[in-house]
Amino acid sequence: MKIVLNGELREVAATTLSALLDECDFTGRVATAVNEDFIPATLRGSHALQDGDRVEIVSPMQGG
């Protein structure tokens, strides 16, 4: 299916948000949103992706 991941059109095999994180090699703590709705880590495995979804995956940054 085709989704927009962090602003880029991507063809992915993943059908859930959790599977997408694995497919795209995201590790560690991240924040996730689908179509501008925050998806907590506890719901990623059950959150089904749909063709055309807009997914944002953000890693925390250190700074000061």
Confidence (pTM): 0.91
pLDDT of residue 38: 98
Those residues of the chain that have pLDDT short of 50 are none
Residue 1 CA to residue 49 CA, distance in Å, equals: 9
Residue 2 CA to residue 30 CA, distance in Å, equals: 22
pLDDT of residue 63: 72
Kindly list the domain boundaries of the chain, sorted by start residue: 2-58
CB within 8 Å of 61: residues ≥ 6 apart: none
pLDDT of residue 60: 82
pLDDT of residue 13: 98
pLDDT of residue 64: 63
Give Cα 13 distance to the centre of its chain.
13
Is the CATH code 3.10.20.30 the one for domain 2-58?
yes
